């Protein structure tokens, strides 16, 4: 047992891990201990509880033997203690049932028996061979782990790229959906605006038609009323209205208009007298604008009514 621990230490394992492996395999031997170490890489080199190496299983009795077969304690033929277990299918020896069970798991062999043959400790050459095998297995395991890690990273990168691609596609699809939604909304707004404009235009046209109809109706009513008024006027005798006063407005050059009310029967010379009383002493004439007529000295004796200056008239004063 101590030789197995030393061999594991020579192979580069710590004494704590070597003792843990021997204890975990119940002292089944170097190979099971190595297999256990490979199967449990997570085991640390820190000591746990005190590790006590189990005693070798099936150790032969330490009673000395002598040539005298009748000596007390002598082991006779057929009384030997089992030193190991043997696989009858491949003839491999195992220190205990744990190693045999491990072998059965790996190979599927089921035919085991007890053997009195003791498992010899490894020689230096065997230790070197085991060490080389261990190193090769370690290198292979490391290479396998590295390859597995590379594959896992590749797979993770594929998953990440696929997720990024899916996210980008989903984002593009969402953006396209939003753009289409905005486009449809804009199109709908334009259609609604077009309909609203058409309604407004139709309403304006209807309002125009209504106003035209109202104007036409009002025009017709006015024409009817005017015709009725003319008919009523023609049916009644014309009565000429008599005016007693004449409102005369005189416009003189360079002065403000002068307005004064005269008696309708007053002669025109009263207008001349009134203007002279207002400071217009220079000789002047008076005339109408439409129809154009300049009053003479003979007209000054005529009344304002005779001169058709009643009820009002506008005269223009001109200096001689």
For domain 2-58+81-122, the CATH architecture is: Orthogonal Bundle (1.10)
Strand partners, 313: 248
pLDDT confidence of residue 65: 40
Given this chain, do its domains 2-58+81-122 and 245-319 carry the same CATH topology? no
Q: What CATH architecture is 245-319?
A: Roll (3.10)
Query: 238-247: per-residue pLDDT in tens?
Result: 566 788 899 9
Contact assessment for residue 23 and residue 140, using Cβ atoms and an 8 Å cutoff: no
C-alpha span between 222 and 196 (Å, rounded): 38
**Ranges assigned E (strand) in the chain:** 84-87, 93-94, 112-115, 245-251, 258-263, 284-288, 293-294, 312-319
320 residues of the chain, pLDDT tens digit each: 567 888 888 787 888 888 898 889 888 888 888 888 888 877 877 776 544 444 433 333 333 444 444 454 455 555 556 677 889 888 888 877 877 887 888 788 988 888 877 666 667 787 778 778 877 877 888 898 899 999 999 999 999 999 999 989 999 999 999 999 999 999 999 999 999 999 999 999 999 999 999 999 998 888 888 888 888 777 766 566 788 899 999 998 888 899 999 999 999 999 999 998 988 878 889 999 888 889 998 998 999 999 999 998 889 988 88
The Cα–Cα gap between 23 and 277 comes to 157
Task: Measure Cα distances from 221 to 215, 218, 227, 229, 234 in Å.
Answer: 10, 5, 10, 12, 19
Question: For 266, what's the count of Cα atoms within 13 Å in the CB-facing half-sphere?
Answer: 20
Identify the burial level of 189 via C-beta atoms within 10 angstroms of its C-beta, where 0-12 means exposed, 13-18 middle and 19 or more buried.
Answer: exposed
Beta strands in 209-257 (DSSP E): 245-251
Per-residue pLDDT, 259: 92
Sequence length of the chain is 320
pLDDT digits 0-9 by tens, 145-175: 899 999 999 999 999 999 999 989 999 999 9
Residue 14: left if φ>0, alpha if ψ -120 to 50, beta else—which one? beta
List Cα–Cα distances, 62 to 52, 69, 81, 273, in angstroms.
Answer: 22, 16, 12, 183
Burial class (CB in 10 A: 0-12, 13-18, 19+), 260: middle
Report how far residue 196's alpha carbon sits from residue 203's, in angstroms, rounded to the nearest whole number. Answer: 10
For 99-134, the DSSP string reads HHHHHHHHH----EEEE-PPPPPPPHHHHHHHHHHH
pTM of the model: 0.29
Beta bridge partners of 294: 287
Based on the number of CB atoms within 10 Å of its own CB, is 136 exposed (0-12), middle (13-18) or buried (19 or more)?
A: exposed
Contact by Cβ (8 Å): 267, 300: yes
Backbone angles phi, psi at 212, to 5 degrees: -65, -40
Q: Tokens for 8?
A: 């594991």
Q: Where are the domains of the chain?
A: 2-58+81-122, 245-319
């Amino acid at each position: 047992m101590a030789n197995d621990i030393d061999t594991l230490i020579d192979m580069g394992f710590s004494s704590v891990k070597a003792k843990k492996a021997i204890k975990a395999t119940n002292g089944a031997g170097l190979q099971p201990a190595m297999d256990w170490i490979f199967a449990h890489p997570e085991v640390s080199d820190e000591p746990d509880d005190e590790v006590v190496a189990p005693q070798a299983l099936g150790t032969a009795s330490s009673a000395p033997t002598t040539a005298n077969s009748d000596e007390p304690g002598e082991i006779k033929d057929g009384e030997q203690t089992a030193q190991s277990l043997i696989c009858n299918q491949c003839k491999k020896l195992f220190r205990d049932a744990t190693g045999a069970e491990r072998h059965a798991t790996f190979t599927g062999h089921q035919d085991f028996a007890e053997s009195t043959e003791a498992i010899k400790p490894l020689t230096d050459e065997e230790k070197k061979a085991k060490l080389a095998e261990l190193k090769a297995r370690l290198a292979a395991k490391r290479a396998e782990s590295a390859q597995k890690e590379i594959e896992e990273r590749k797979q993770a990168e594929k998953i990440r790229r696929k997720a990024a691609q899916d996210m980008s596609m989903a984002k593009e699809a969402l953006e396209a959906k939003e753009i289409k939604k905005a486009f449809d909304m804009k199109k709908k707004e334009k259609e609604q605006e077009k309909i609203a404009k058409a309604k407004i235009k139709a309403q304006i046209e209807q309002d125009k038609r209504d106003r035209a109809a109202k104007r036409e109706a009002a025009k017709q009513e006015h024409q009817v009323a005017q015709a009725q008024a003319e008919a009523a006027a023609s049916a009644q005798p014309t009565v000429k209205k008599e005016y007693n006063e004449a409102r005369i407005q005189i416009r003189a050059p360079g002065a403000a208009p002068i307005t004064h009310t005269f008696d309708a029967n007053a002669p025109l010379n009263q207008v001349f007298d009134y203007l002279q009383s207002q400071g217009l002493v220079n000789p002047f004439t008076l005339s109408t604008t439409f129809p154009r007529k300049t009053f003479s000295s003979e007209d000054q004796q005529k009344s304002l009514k005779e001169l058709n200056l009643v009820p009002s008239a506008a005269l223009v004063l001109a200096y001689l």
